[in-house]
């Protein structure tokens, strides 16, 4: 069957439903009393009533809300910039000297000191503490922190770590004081944490003594609306002022009509399948290869994103990350080759029902995804239809993100469709070190490759970017060959405001959102 016929068959199977988003009636959200309050619809909310930014994914929410800050930041061109640290210097392969700003105050009014920074970072390794973060601790690899004076620290790492400074830009590497009953989270950002309701809302008030200048808004309310269509309805009803992750079909319609306050910017976010390689049907390398060859990524991008939200992925990193993307790689759509490989491997349809069998059992891949990003569900549906075209059955469902990961780890499902920023720290080490290095916490594939592990180690130990580029080029080649991760497309974030939003920019790593300059125009 030709590629075009294949696409037509997929369209016939899916109809227009792949682009349809449910519309649900939504009760009015409570109106805040503050004079200058901005309500922002975000796809994910806090996981607890006091979400410590140093743990799990809380850092991204807190950082974007303007509550917590890191020592070093990422500019909008993805270059490193001073933040809470004024200067940073590499003293040796394992020593880093940072000098802090002298005008930073915590939300309780006290001055930030080097001792505060040390105490905050030590919480990463305290099991049972709300700031416990073994993943970030592993990425930083800190052996000791020496306080030289009130504004100077020297970090010593256990081994050479060229990604150390980049890792300090991660939102989880936040500097906090121990909380109190009145201020359960004490950060340094332009806004002070007020309250959080798990999976629903995160609220803040301005911090007039912020080192970067007094914020223009009095309050921020971030409402977690995981269904983008519901978020769009909330904007139309005037219940929110900004939707950060707007449904792509609706955004495209507004763009065509020349309506709406539209924001758009490419990001490093990758939509990809994490694949269970340790056991189950996809432990078979030929089957994994066939799955990738059977994905018509152009059709997925066109149908899921309506031409406004992304580009086909050929490796982990988008072409816009020219410093690190391996431009020689492709992930081809070739269903004829996929079918031939399966036939040669004896993975055939023996009973004529249209589904191939592996080791005498009919293949039915269990594939899951989650709500919160509009393109996930249609990508899942299109994938199911595409795989059926090459005789691979698939059972698809939407679930809860963490539950999906646990199911993948247990071998209860075969693939988990996810959307991650591949370089939230601006460095190429984070994504592969977090997901495919042997034995790491998010390696739910059960994947292990000694060459890849050795290259990741070298990538962290080498300080010459040209040499590091060679390592990460090869890492991308290995992943494209072994496919513990199957890249699908790189995402462009699209947002819509109510016409009054000023001072909002979409960061390519999606690291920042609320700034002192954010305001609702009169």
Three-class HEC string of 122-169: HHHHCCCCCCCCHHHHHHHCEEEEEEEECCEEEEEECCCCCCHHHHCC
Q: Which sign, positive or negative, has the C-alpha torsion 454, 457, 462, 468?
A: positive
Do 439 and 510 have their domain in common? no
- Whether 28 has a pLDDT exceeding 60, the answer reads no
- Whether 20 has a pLDDT exceeding 50, the answer reads no
**Average pLDDT over every residue of 191-204:** 97
In a domain, 18, yes or no: no
DSSP code of 30? P
- Residue 403 sits at the vertex; the CA angle it makes with 490 and 166, to the nearest 5 degrees, is 45
Do 307 and 161 have their domain in common? no
How many domains does the chain contain in total? 2
In angstroms, the CA 136 to CA 118 distance is 15
Do 92 and 150 have their domain in common? yes
Do 120 and 57 have their domain in common? yes
* Residue 3 pLDDT level (bands cut at 50, 70, 90): low
Do 309 and 454 have their domain in common? yes
Residue among 139, 108, 112 at smallest CA distance from 124: 139
**What are φ and ψ of residue 38, in 5° steps?**
-110, 130
CATH number of the domain to which 361 belongs:
3.10.105.10
In a domain, 149, yes or no: yes
In a domain, 29, yes or no: no
**Strand-pair category, 519-520 with 501-502:** antiparallel
Percent of the chain with pLDDT over 70: 93
Residues listed for the chain: 522
Do 95 and 147 have their domain in common? yes
Do 288 and 380 have their domain in common? yes
Do 471 and 511 have their domain in common? no
Do 466 and 506 have their domain in common? no
In angstroms, the CA 358 to CA 349 distance is 9
CATH number of the domain to which 102 belongs:
3.40.190.10
In a domain, 61, yes or no: yes
- Whether 486 has a pLDDT exceeding 90, the answer reads yes
Three-class secondary structure of residue 265 per DSSP: strand
Three-class secondary structure of residue 371 per DSSP: coil
Q: How many CA atoms lie within 13 A of 113 on its CB side?
A: 10
Do 193 and 304 have their domain in common? no
DSSP code of 238? T
* Residue 18 pLDDT level (bands cut at 50, 70, 90): very low
Three-class secondary structure of residue 455 per DSSP: helix
Contact by Cβ (8 Å): 272, 412? no
297 to each of 158, 321, 503, 516, how far by Cα in Å?
Answer: 42, 20, 34, 39
**Per-residue pLDDT tens over the stretch 267-296:** 999 999 999 999 999 999 999 999 999 999
Q: Which sign, positive or negative, has the C-alpha torsion 59, 247, 508, 419?
A: positive
In angstroms, the CA 257 to CA 246 distance is 16
Look up tokens 């992750």; give the residue.
Answer: 245
Q: Which residues of 193-228 are buried (b: 16+ CB within 10 A; e: fewer)?
A: bbebeeeebbbbbbbeebbbeebbbbbbbbbbbbbb
**Per-residue pLDDT tens over the stretch 124-151:** 999 999 999 998 999 899 999 999 999 9
Percent of the chain with pLDDT over 90: 84
In a domain, 263, yes or no: no
- Whether 5 has a pLDDT exceeding 90, the answer reads no
- Give the domain range for residue 354: 268-493
Q: According to the model, what pLDDT value does residue 78 have?
A: 86
**Average pLDDT over every residue of 188-214:** 97
Three-class secondary structure of residue 39 per DSSP: strand
**Per-residue pLDDT tens over the stretch 303-353:** 999 888 889 999 999 987 888 999 999 999 999 999 999 999 999 999 999
- Structure-derived torsion over alpha carbons of residues 356, 359, 361, 366, reported in degrees to the nearest 10: -80
DSSP conformation letters of 384-418: HHHHHHTT-EEEEEEE-HHHHHHHHHTTS-SEEEE
Contact by Cβ (8 Å): 492, 264? yes
Residue 273 CB: number of other CB atoms within 10 A? 26
**What are φ and ψ of residue 420, in 5° steps?**
-120, 150
**Per-residue pLDDT tens over the stretch 352-363:** 999 999 999 999
In angstroms, the CA 24 to CA 462 distance is 53
Residue 143 CB: number of other CB atoms within 10 A? 11
Residue 3 CB: number of other CB atoms within 10 A? 14
Q: According to the model, what pLDDT value does residue 9 have?
A: 54
Contact by Cβ (8 Å): 386, 296? yes
Do 290 and 224 have their domain in common? no
Residue among 125, 114, 116, 128 at smallest CA distance from 178: 116
The per-residue pLDDT of the chain, averaged, comes to 92
What Rg do the C-alpha atoms of the chain give, in angstroms? 24
In angstroms, the CA 198 to CA 47 distance is 5
DSSP conformation letters of 157-218: ESS--TTHHHHTTSTTSB--BPP-SS-SSB--SSEEEEEEETTTEEEEEE-TT-TT---S-S
Task: Evaluate if pTM is beyond 0.85.
Answer: no
Residue among 209, 208, 219 at smallest CA distance from 36: 219
Do 220 and 352 have their domain in common? no
In angstroms, the CA 329 to CA 345 distance is 25
In a domain, 410, yes or no: yes
**Per-residue pLDDT tens over the stretch 224-280:** 998 888 999 999 999 999 999 998 989 999 999 999 999 999 999 999 999 999 999
**Average pLDDT over every residue of 163-176:** 95
In a domain, 246, yes or no: no
Three-class secondary structure of residue 61 per DSSP: helix
- Structure-derived torsion over alpha carbons of residues 376, 378, 379, 381, reported in degrees to the nearest 10: 120
Q: According to the model, what pLDDT value does residue 302 have?
A: 93
In a domain, 30, yes or no: no
- Whether 8 has a pLDDT exceeding 60, the answer reads no
| More reliable by pLDDT, 17 or 375 | 375
């Amino acid at each position: 069957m030709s590629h075009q016929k294949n696409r037509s068959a997929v369209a016939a199977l899916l109809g227009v439903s792949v682009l349809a988003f449910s519309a649900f009636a939504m009760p009015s959200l409570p109106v805040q009393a503050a004079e200058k309050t901005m309500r922002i619809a975000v796809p994910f909310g806090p996981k607890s009533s006091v979400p410590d930014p140093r743990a799990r994914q809380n850092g991204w929410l807190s950082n974007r809300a303007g509550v917590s800050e890191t020592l070093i930041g990422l500019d909008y061109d993805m270059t490193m910039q001073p933040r809470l640290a004024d200067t940073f210097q590499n003293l040796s392969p394992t020593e880093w000297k940072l000098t802090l700003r002298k005008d930073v105050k915590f939300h309780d009014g006290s001055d930030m000191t080097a001792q505060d920074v040390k105490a905050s970072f030590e919480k990463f390794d305290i099991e049972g503490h709300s700031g416990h973060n073994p993943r970030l601790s592993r990425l930083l690899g800190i052996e000791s922190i020496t306080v030289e004076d009130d504004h100077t620290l020297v970090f010593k790492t256990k081994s050479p770590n060229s990604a150390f400074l980049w890792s300090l830009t991660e939102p989880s590497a936040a500097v906090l004081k121990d909380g109190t009953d009145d201020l359960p989270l004490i950060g340094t950002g332009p806004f002070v944490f007020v309250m959080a309701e798990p999976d629903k809302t995160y609220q803040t008030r301005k911090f007039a003594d912020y080192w970067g200048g007094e914020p223009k808004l009095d309050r921020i309310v971030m409402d977690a609306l995981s269904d983008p269509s519901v978020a769009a309805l909330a904007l139309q009803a005037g219940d929110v002022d900004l939707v950060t992750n707007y449904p792509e079909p609706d955004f495209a319609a507004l763009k065509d009509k020349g309506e709406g306050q539209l924001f758009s910017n490419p990001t490093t976010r990758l939509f990809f399948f994490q694949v269970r390689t340790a056991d189950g049907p996809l432990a078979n390398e030929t089957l994994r290869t066939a799955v990738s060859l059977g994905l018509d990524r152009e059709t997925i991008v066109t149908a899921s994103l309506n031409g406004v939200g992304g580009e086909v992925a050929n490796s982990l990193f988008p072409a816009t990350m020219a410093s690190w993307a391996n431009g020689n790689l492709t992930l081809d759509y070739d269903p004829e080759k996929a079918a031939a490989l399966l036939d040669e491997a004896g993975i055939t349809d023996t009973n004529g029902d249209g589904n191939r069998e592996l080791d005498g059992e009919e293949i039915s891949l269990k594939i899951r995804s989650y709500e919160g990003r509009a393109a996930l569900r249609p990508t899942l549906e299109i994938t199911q239809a595409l795989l059926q075209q090459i005789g691979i059955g698939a059972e698809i469902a939407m679930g809860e993100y963490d539950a999906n990961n646990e199911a993948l780890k247990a071998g209860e499902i075969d693939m988990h469709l996810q959307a991650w920023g591949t370089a939230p720290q601006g460095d190429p080490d984070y994504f592969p070190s977090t997901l495919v290095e042997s034995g790491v916490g998010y390696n739910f594939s059960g994947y292990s490759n000694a060459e890849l592990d050795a290259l990741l180690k070298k990538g962290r130990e080498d300080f010459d970017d040209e040499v590091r580029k060679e390592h990460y080029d090869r890492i991308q080649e290995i992943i494209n060959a072994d496919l513990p991760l199957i890249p699908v497309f790189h995402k462009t974030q699209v947002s819509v405001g109510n016409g009054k939003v000023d001072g909002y920019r979409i960061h390519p790593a999606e690291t920042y959102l609320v700034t002192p300059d954010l305001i609702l125009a009169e």
